[in-house]
Structure 1
Amino acid sequence: MMFSLLSVLLLVMQSALYSSQQFSQLTPNVLVVEKELQNSAEVPLLCGEAYEGKDISWRREGTTLPKRGNRITVTVLEMMGGNYTCHDSAGTVLSHQLVLVQMKGGQEQRRILGKMKDTDHIKCLSRNYSGIFRCSWQWSPNRHGSVVHVSAKRSSGTGNITCSVDEDGLGITCIDQFQCTYAEEQNDINLAVHVRHLYRLEEYRIKFSIAQIVKPDKVTIVPASDSTFDLQYPKTWSEPDSYFPLTFHFKVMNRKKSKDCDYKSDRVQENFTRNQTITVQNRREFRLCVRARDDLCSSSWSEWSQYERKSEENKN
């Protein structure tokens, strides 16, 4: 009876251990092992179906392994993945597999990307509704990583979104080939970014629509007279203006006292308007600040545009 109980207990423990080890092929040459830090994992490697029965040797980071054959199993301890290469009898590289380790419960243990201001780890912005958007991030102070894989798709599973990684690895530029500028978005974009530091892999996800991340470029301020100014839409903004209206936020402040557009005072004239012409009254010297955002959704404001008016005696 005791033997039977021990056998059942051992079987349960083995099953639990096996189920706790999860392998997935992130890309054709990147194998991801999901495991607890303290557990080891037995990871199967395959050189290639065409090399079955051949004399195949293996190396990890250039160091020859004792195991041979087209199929081998390697033990991964803690975060010790590695770049494994298989070779023929002449030493020629036939294939390679990068083994990376992803921590279970990794959402609570992410360390490669740092937190960004006003958002989590990834910030995405679009200058208009063309379907082109950019996402950026920053490395944490103690880790400088690299991008392993990027995936972007609509929640419906349809669409064709392609992304390219910046040379410095700190951002991507994506384009939705099927985005219709004039149609209302029916499905959000799901973005997944996989980054690594050494053999540690972390996944970061963000979900958004173009309408949520759209941020116009700066407004152009054109003096029309001594007291009136025309506000021109950014050239990069979607057209026509009547279909993609902007709301303007403008502030008029003391030129000498204000260092930038974030200056706060009870004497600051501040207002919101859809009109593209604004009037500044009873001011000899002033700083005019204007920014804009989509009038139809509460997305991000553009950066401030500035115009300074100096009195005649202060122009020199």
Structure 2
Amino acid sequence: MILGLQTLLLFLLQTPGGSSQHSEAGYWFLQPNVLVVNTDLNIHTQMQIPLSCGEAYEGQEVFWRNEGQEIDQQGNHIQVTVEELTGGNYSCHDSNGSFLNHTLVLVQLLNGKSQARKILDKVENTDYIQCTSRNYSGIFHCSWKWSEGRRGDLFFAAVTRSSGQSNISCAADADRSGMICLDRTHCPYTEELHPIDLTIYVKYWYRVEKYTKQFYIAGIVKPDRVRLRKAHGNTFEWEYPSTWNIPDSFFPLHFEVKVAPLNKDCDAEGEQSRVRKNFLFCVRSQDTLTKSGWSEWEQRK
């Protein structure tokens, strides 16, 4: 299922690859009004791209503009030159200047056979996209990090199960640095047979970059903080997170407990402090069966 994220994100009816019939020519349609040109960084690229206003305007006088500025080409079918990063938003108009249609031309830079990535930075030096889920309900969150000095925008997203049988809906975060999704067909009591495939296209001016990630919900589960309280004296009690699946016997967690000096935090490395009057008592949890991510530490003095 292809997803439109908020009103600012484009709505699509097919996967990104589904409209790539022109990819051998060096360009392809991300959707009917969005054309992507592949440009090789190692070669000075100058490409002629055909644009069409639409079959409904065949035989009519058609005038063209790029970013609102009139260009010389006229007619329903024209050729425009795309050189390196010179994309544009081409609109066609009738003889009275009324808007008829448009095509947004974006550029995807390649470095040989690989994509040159500049819009996103790796998250914690591991991957460009990081996904987590607080439980097995089918809700998960994916995020990314914009490169410093090059703040882009989430342009398009597709999230599906690799089996093709899925019903996943998503909404972009307010700052466009992530999105939260719900897989309505996910059952927490059965084994996941097919991974989730995530594809996003991010845009900076007329440059567009594609990023992908494949994962199982079981592999990205990270429980919320445990519910920890000080009972009396140096005795502490904790419970499963309120957001964790039930019954506990079917979704067991195991716990890590440590004591740290007050002038340290729970993540501090080194030997644990001996129990004194002033200390931090720290607890975190992890899914016993999948051994996925640890929760954040919960602490009490």
Runs of 5+ in structure 2 lacking a partner?
1-21
Q: Does 1:266 align with 2:259?
A: no
Q: Does 1:215 align with 2:215?
A: no
Report the more deviating stretch, 115-124 or 84-93.
Answer: 115-124
- Structure-2 separation of matches of 1:168 and 1:266: 40
Q: 1:180 aligns with which of 184, 187, 191?
A: 187
DSSP-derived class of the 1:224 partner: strand
Which digits, 9 at most, give the CA deviation of each residue in 1:253-297, with x for residues without a partner?
333xx421123343447xxxxxxxxxxxx6543311011111111
**Within-5 A mapping of 1:82-97:** 82-97=88-103
Q: Which has the higher helix share?
A: 1
Q: 2:74 aligns with which of 45, 64, 68?
A: 68
Residue 114 (structure 1) aligns with: 121
Residue 37 (structure 2) aligns with: 33
Shift in alpha-carbon separation, 1:147–1:77, aligned structure 2, 3 A: same
Aligned partners of 1:99 and 1:199 also within 8 Å: yes
- Structure-1 separation of matches of 2:191 and 2:115: 35
Report the more deviating stretch, 86-95 or 103-112.
Answer: 103-112
Aligned AA (2:296): E
Residue 4 (structure 1) aligns with: none
Aligned partners of 1:165 and 1:172 also within 8 Å: yes
TM-score (norm 2): 0.86
Which digits, 9 at most, give the CA deviation of each residue in 1:53-79, with x for residues without a partner?
111111001111111112212111111
TM-score (norm 1): 0.82
Residue 53 (structure 2) aligns with: 47
- Structure-1 separation of matches of 2:212 and 2:247: 33
Runs of 5+ in structure 1 lacking a partner?
1-17, 270-281, 309-316
- Structure-1 separation of matches of 2:252 and 2:185: 23
Aligned partners of 2:133 and 2:139 also within 8 Å: yes
Aligned AA (1:296): L
Q: Which has the higher contact order (CA 8 A, sep 6+)?
A: 2
Percent identical: 48
Aligned AA (2:288): D
- Structure-2 separation of matches of 1:24 and 1:36: 15
> Over alpha carbons, which structure has the higher Rg?
1
DSSP-derived class of the 1:104 partner: strand
- Structure-1 separation of matches of 2:240 and 2:223: 9
- State the Cα distance separating 1:198 from its structure 2 match: 1.3
Which digits, 9 at most, give the CA deviation of each residue in 1:72-103, with x for residues without a partner?
12111111110011111211111111100112
Aligned partners of 2:53 and 2:102 also within 8 Å: yes
- Structure-1 separation of matches of 2:91 and 2:74: 12
Aligned AA (1:26): L
**Within-5 A mapping of 1:156-175:** 156-175=163-182
- Structure-2 separation of matches of 1:85 and 1:234: 54
DSSP-derived class of the 1:221 partner: strand
Residue 28 (structure 2) aligns with: 24
Aligned AA (2:293): S
- State the Cα distance separating 1:201 from its structure 2 match: 1.0
Aligned AA (2:98): T
DSSP-derived class of the 1:144 partner: coil
Q: Does 1:148 align with 2:155?
A: yes
Q: Does 1:296 align with 2:300?
A: no
Shift in alpha-carbon separation, 1:39–1:264, aligned structure 2, 3 A: closer
- Structure-1 separation of matches of 2:151 and 2:278: 48
DSSP-derived class of the 2:241 partner: coil
DSSP-derived class of the 1:244 partner: coil
Residue 17 (structure 2) aligns with: none
Aligned partners of 2:258 and 2:272 also within 8 Å: no
DSSP-derived class of the 2:251 partner: coil
**Cα RMSD between the aligned structures?**
1.9
- State the Cα distance separating 1:108 from its structure 2 match: 4.9
Q: Does 1:126 align with 2:130?
A: no
Which digits, 9 at most, give the CA deviation of each residue in 1:124-143, with x for residues without a partner?
11111111111111111131
- Structure-1 separation of matches of 2:37 and 2:159: 22
